Every structure is written in C-alpha cells, then in structure tokens.
Structure 1
Amino acid sequence: MDLNSTGLIELQVQYCFQSGNASCPKEIHPTAIRVTLYIFWTGIVMLTVCGNLVVIISISHFKQLHTPTNLFLLSLAVADFLIGVFVMPFTMIQYIETCWYFGDILCSIYTMFILVLTSVSISNLVFIAVDRYFVVCNPFIYSTKITIPLTWMFIALSWMLSVVYTYLLFYFKGNINDVEGIDPCLGDCFLEFNATWTVVDLIVTFLLPCSTMVTVYTKVFIVAKRHARVINAIARQISSADGNKSNIPKRSERKATKTLGIVVAVFLLCWVPYYISTVVDAYINFSVPPVVMGTLTWVVYFNSSMNPIIYALFYPWFQKSLKLILTFKIFSPASCMTNLFPENQ
C-alpha cells in the first residue's frame, strides 16, 4: 500500500506474473485464511483419494466382490480417485492462490481430465441405478443376463463415450478459452462453456442422467415397498403361531427410503447449484463472481468424496475389508478368498 499526495491509502494491484497488463490480477488473502483453506481442502482431497482407494483395493482383491454391481462401483471409484489425484489438488491451488501457475499445456490436460472424469463418474452413477433396478425388479433376468463380460463392456462404453464427448467439446470450441479472438490473461485456466455448449452440457451430463436416476430409483422404491408388504403378510402368518409381531417390512421400507434419499439428494445437492450457475453465467456474459463458481465447483467434486460413503460404507463387506487392509492381512496367503459376508446375510 502507498500514500498518495492527498494522504489517502492506495491499494497496489498485484498480478500472477510480473508481466504488466498481460497477467491476471491476483487476490491476496491473509496468511491465516490461506493456511486454513489449505488444511480444509487438503482434508477433502485426502478423503476422496483414500476413500476411493479403499473401494478399489477391496473390489479388486477379494474374489467374493467380483460381481456386476461391484464392478460398476469399482469403475466409479477409479473415476473419483483420479479426480482426487489429478483434478482437486490443482483446483485447490488455483482456488486459494487465484492464479494458474502450471502453464497452458497442463491447463488443457487438466481441463480434459475434469470433463472426462466427471462424465464417467456421472455415467457410472446411472449404470449403478439401472443395475439396482434389474436386481430388485427383475431378479431372474438379472442373474442370467447381467454377466461379468457384459458389465465390463458397459464400463468400457462409459469411459469411451466420455472421451468422445470431451473431444467433441474441444473440437467445436465449446470452451470459451479455446475460441479464437478470446485471449485470457496470463495466469488463468478456466472452463467456461459458451451459450450453446452450456445447454448441451446441461442436457447430456445433468438432465438426462438425473432424470434417469430419479425415475429408476423411484421405480425401485415402489417395487421394494411392494415386496415389503408381501414379506409382511408372510411374516404375520408365521408369527401368528407364537403371537410375535414382525417389523421386517418397516425396516425394509425405512432402508429403501433412506437409500433413495441419500443417492438422489446428495447427487442433486452437489450438482444442481453448479449447473444453475453455469447456465446463468453463460447468459449474463460470464459475470458470476469467480469465488462463487469456484465454491460450487468444489461442491461438485465433494460428490466424489461422498460416493465411497454412500455406495460402500453402508455395506458390511466394506467395513470388514477396510479392517483387513488397515491390518495388512490382505498380504496373507489366500486372503483374496476371505468371506466378507456375515453368515446371517
């Protein structure tokens, strides 16, 4: 800060690089705030990396977990793990320092990783929803038609389509950072879609997956309630002999409701604010404050942190496999054949 001739304090504008007007302006945060932010976001990154790594090791190592459902969980965990390793650390530094210090080439790679991995993560959520539909609604078809090779084929299709979608976006210059005539300042690396691709991305990566998930899980919930009523009727007949009342259907309905609420609510809470902001931002000449977009982006990434908790921590096998991993018992001979399921399940 300097004093001018009138004695007033003038704030000096700082830039990301010492190159005058060609460099982006840099926001300076107090040291205490910067340290707090680094500690907080590092914790989120570690949660994402470690949580998804445990899922990857568990499903890959234990033969009992090699099922179509768990293979989709494995693909989801790989995508979320890569987000935690290759996307979130760079986003953390850019968000706190308000500058991109890693060059144009790494910026392009970073942007492609964002698009591919978030698309894969969302598509795997959809596949998991469809998988749950066949398990609950068509169990006989599921056991005969949904095979391991078919599952791998859908997983490969998910990754391939995500790569193709990202290529098309860059080829048609959907990111305004790639549009001719737009010269971003030095020290910036942003992913902002133009108005056309904002709508396309909204439909392809949000509206269609979200509507599919809501529709499928609603159907699953309805069928689960129907099954619960049947179980209730059978349980009453069995318990009438000794006068005991069964609460199995109530537990089943609560469990179905809880699962549906967690899956849909977390997905919507993480993604709806971000997509609303991107649509608004594209039609108001990209005037949404960067701090707002940065925060909403982190909320989206936080969905990758929550996925291991939602899709794995509620499973008893995950808790047992986690204990085996932490105690290094997975290195013992024939540990891959360990029974992870309690006898009463």
Structure 2
Amino acid sequence: MSAPITQDVLTLPRKLPESDRINLVGLTRAQLREVLIEGGTPERQANMRVGQIWQWIYQKGVRDFEAMTNLSKAYRTELAERYEIALPEVVTRQVSADGTRKYLVRIAGGHEVETVYIPEEGRGTLCISSQVGCTLTCSFCHTGTQKLVRNLTAGEIVGQVMLARDDLGEWPEPGRAPKDETRLLSNVVLMGMGEPLYNFDAVRDAMQIVMDGEGISLSRRRITLSTSGVVPEIARTAEEIGCLLAVSFHATTDEVRDTLVPINKKWPIAKLLDELRAYPKLSNSERITFEYVMLKGVNDSDADARRLVKLIQGIPAKINLIPFNEWPGAPYQRSDRARIQSFADIVYKAGYASPIRTPRGEDIMAACGQLKSATERARKSRTQIATEAGLGG
C-alpha cells in the first residue's frame, strides 16, 4: 500500500514583510533548494519543488506564485509569504530607427545600467551588463568614463534577459511548448557595461540559469562573453560557463593598447595571447572573436592589420572590425570607410573572417561603447577625457 500523500506546507511564524522576502530570481538550482528547505519545504520533496518552481519562473515567465497551478494552494500561499519573483525595473525604453531597443534598468540601491536588444534577420541579440560602471577606463569607451559603482548580482544579470523577453512578448503561450516558439531573443552577449570576468561568480551563475534546458534554454554557443583580458579568469570561462569568448583587443602594440585598454599594463599582449592559445574550448568550430574598434589614425593602418594577423597566427579566430561609435566628449574619431575596408581586406586575405560591424542604435546611444547610465553621467569635457587618455597636452 502506498504511503499517504502529504501536503508540503511551509511552517512560518508570520507573514514576512516585503523587504525580508527572498528573491528567487538568480538563485542556482542548489541555492533554490537550500532556501526552500530553510523555509520549511520537506527535504524529500525539495528537488521536485525546485523543478516545478524553476519551470514556472524561467520557462513560462510566471511571477505570481498563485499561477503555479501544479502546487497545492496552501503551498502557493506560503511561498508568496516568504519569497518573491522580482526583476530589475525598466525606467525608460528607447527604440532606434533601426529597431534596436535600449532599456535603462534600475537595480537595488537606485543604480542604473543599460541593456540593448538588437534585432537581426532570423535572430535577435541581447547585450547585457554585468557591473554598474567599469574599472577598466578604456579610453574609447563611454562606459569607461564612469567609475565602478558595484557588481550586479546573478539575479540582476539574468533579470535583464527576462525583462527583455517580457518586452518582446516571448514567453510561451499557455499550452504551447517552448521548443516551438520563434526565438526573438536568440543570442546573449556580455558586452554591456562592466568587465564580466571581474564579476565572475555572478556572471557564471546567471549564465547557467539562462542555459538551463528546463528554463530559458539558450545554447552555450549562443552566449558570448567579452573580456578586455583578465588573464587569470579566462580558462575558468571555458570550464565553468562554457560559452564563446570574445576579446576586446583593439591594438597591435603594447604602447597603443596600454592607452586604449589600460588592463594591458597588467596583462600585456603576449601574456594574453598565450592564455588564449591554451583556451580549453578553442577549435575551428568555436573560434575566439577578436573585437577591434577602428580609431582614425590610432590603430587603423595597413601595418596594424599585418601585425594583427601575425600576432594571432595559429589561433582559430575571427576579427570583428567595429567602426568607432562616437559619444559626447570622445577623444577619437571613426576611421574612414575606405581605411576600414583596406584593413579588413588584409585580415581576410590572411585567412581570417573580418566582418565590419554595422553600427546599430547610434541615434539612441545604444551602439557598442556608448552605454552609460543616465544618473551616473558625470559630464566631462573633451579636453579632460583626452588628457586622461594620454592624448592631451
């Protein structure tokens, strides 16, 4: 005779105030299991409850415990008393003439970050942030003129993916299997505000949630993490996240890269390339992307192109050439189209794909290198920025 079915009712002394409720968004499966057990879910039922709640949050996009109809009514009520399913707040939503969407997103503490959705034929890419501000002070990047405020939590990172799916109306309709939906948000790039590898644990946990097959279920090969070259964390990216890797390279000599990407002073080009050659997931099918912003008269000569292909020789790679996206006070100018094309031709003839990125969302300051949260925009003059970049008198 089978054992009687018992209801999994949480034992709570009282209804918790909203400020004390635990947000379930951003918890890994192990963390979710732990908080449910601590809240009174019987341990023998915890794994099943994790799976059920996980699917409601990440597969169906449900935010209301009352809608989780495969849980008992009493359990739903008590979940609502102890936990919440909360996303960052969208403060503003701008839509570019080319369809790019930029969200100004408010997180805990009143800080703001920017998230960008880029629609393309047959796919859609979401560019998400990992920090408020940035520590790297890359001289060509608008975000780099904003000091680091804090790291984002895993919940604030995965929350950007979820709020974009909200806006796109992409959660599956009731009774419709997620595998049948058309993916408007098909790719994620960690190329927004901040250096992802300086917030490794939160980025890893968030991406594991995004990749989980019973939830949002994006393939690891549809996620690209961009780093400026935090050498000690690069191998961990392959081992613990498994996504594709992009490197903000931007120069072919240490002298120039020290100015453009100051982290180069700590981990110079030779050390960075040695680490990339040893990257655990490196293969012809999983190439490293080298991002190279084209700055007029700074890094765009034919000699730079020839040095670049010599430096990366033997590394399965493609080179994304990025026309510089200007921002107020920027100390650089975009390379001429003919100069970019000449650079691309040299790289291509050396055997590397060298696509020239089409600037997107420039009219709403949503293009690569332009992100900077509105409330943290300490206006600097062109002279001040140029001086800090080592270009002033």
Q: Which structure has the bigger radius of gyration?
A: 1
Q: Quick check: TM above 0.5?
A: no
- What range describes the TM-score normalised by the shorter chain of this pair? under 0.3
Greater share of helix: 1
TM-score (norm 1): 0.23
Higher relative contact order (CA 8 A, sep 6+): 1
User: By percentage of residues, which structure has more strand?
Assistant: 2
